[in-house]
Amino acid sequence: MNLSKFGIKDTPLLKKAFEYALAKHQSLTKQTIELTAEQIDSGITNQLNLVLADKSKSESEKNKFKQDVEAIKKRETQAMTMQVTNNRNMEFDANVKNNIDGLKNIGVNDNRATATALLLNTVKSPKDLMKLQEVFDAEICADIAEYLDFETYPAEKKNNLATSSDVVKNISLMVVTTRLSGLANLINSGQQIQLMPNFGQQLAGMLDTAKLLRGFNPKADADLINKFNSVERISGFKLSVNGQDEIEITITAKPQQQQRPGPGGMMPQPPAPKTDDGGFGKF
C-alpha cells in the first residue's frame, strides 16, 4: 500500500510501523470473517434441521433444501466476506488518515510520534504489547504503554501526563482534537446522535488533557479551545483563556443527552473488532 496515500513519509521506521499496523488489521479482519462464517454455517444448519423435522414438508421439499444448503452457505459467506472486508478497510484507512492528519494539524511531523500513532491500535492486550516489543524499540513501546495506561486510568493521567515524553503528550493532544473534530462534524451534519452514558466522563478526560498540557504545544492550545467550543451544543460549556493563560469554563446550557458519535466521530469505533480503531478507540 502506498504510504503517500495517507501523507506518510516513506522512511524505514514509518514503513515498518505502517506495515505492522496493516498486518494486524488484516489478521483481525480474517478472524472476524472466520467467526461470522461459523455463525452463518451454524444458522443455516439449524434451518436445515428444522426443515427436516417439519412434518408438513414433503420429502421432495426436504431433499431440495438439503441440496441447496451448501450453495446457500457459500453465497451468504461470500457476501459477508465482501461486506466485512470493505467496511474494515474503510475504517482502517479512516483511522490512519485521522491520526496522521491530526498530528499535522497540531504541527507535529516527528517520525517517532507518527510511528506511535500508527501503532496505537495494534495493542489491545498485554500479549499484543509483548509482540510489539519484539519488533520495535523500547521507547516506542513504552510510549504506547503509557498512553494506553492514561486512557484506562484517569488518575494516572492527572498525576503523570505532564511529565511524560513529548511523543505521549502530542499523541494525547492529537487524540483529543481528532475526537472533537469528528463530533463537531457529526453535529454540523444535522444528524441526530445518541451519546453513550459515559460521555461526560470522556469529555472531562479530554478537558483534563487540555489543561494538563496547556503551554506544551501552542498550536494545539489554540486548536483545542476552538474544538471544544465547536461542540458546545452538546457539552453545555464554552472555554476561554484568562490573563494567566489558564483555561476557564463558562456553562452555557444543560448538556444534551441524545447524541452519539458515528463513523469518524468521537471514538474510532471499529466494528467487530471497531476500529483497530480508532479506537482509538472506540464515546
Check which CATH number belongs to the domain holding 227 and give it.
Answer: 1.10.3210
pLDDT at residue 1 in the model:
61
Residue 209 CA to residue 203 CA, distance in Å, equals 10
Residue whose C-alpha is closest to residue 149's, from 140, 161, 138: 161
CA angle 172/174/179 to nearest 5° reads: 100
pLDDT at residue 197 in the model:
85
Q: What is the pLDDT of residues 15-27, one digit of tens each?
A: 999 999 999 999 9
The reply to whether 40 falls in a domain is no
Q: What is the pLDDT of residues 212-251, one digit of tens each?
A: 999 999 999 999 999 999 999 888 999 999 999 999 999 9
The reply to whether 72 falls in a domain is no
Domain total of the chain: 1
pTM: 0.82
By residue range, what is the domain housing residue 216? 89-280
With a CB cutoff of 8 Å and minimum separation 6, the contacts of 133 are: 141
Residue 269 CA to residue 281 CA, distance in Å, equals 6
pLDDT at residue 259 in the model:
43
Cα distances (angstroms) measured from residue 156 to each of 18, 142, 149, 162, 215: 29, 15, 7, 11, 20
Residue 176 CA to residue 179 CA, distance in Å, equals 5
The reply to whether 199 falls in a domain is yes
Q: Is 243 exposed, middle or buried (0-12, 13-18, 19+ CB in 10 A)?
A: exposed
Three-state SS at 266: coil
The reply to whether 187 falls in a domain is yes
pLDDT at residue 253 in the model:
79
pLDDT at residue 255 in the model:
57
Could you count the other beta carbons within 10 Å of the beta carbon of residue 159?
A: 12
Q: What is the pLDDT of residues 64-83, one digit of tens each?
A: 888 899 999 999 999 999 99
The reply to whether 156 falls in a domain is yes
The reply to whether 185 falls in a domain is yes
The DSSP call for residue 270 is -
The reply to whether 163 falls in a domain is yes
pLDDT at residue 193 in the model:
77
Question: Per-residue DSSP letters for 48-113?
Answer: HHHHHH-TTS-HHHHHHHHHHHHHHHHHHHHHHHHHHHHHHHHHHHHHHHHHHHHHHHTT---HHH
| C-alpha radius of gyration, the chain, whole number | 23
Confidence of residue 265 (pLDDT cuts 50, 70, 90): very low
The reply to whether 53 falls in a domain is no
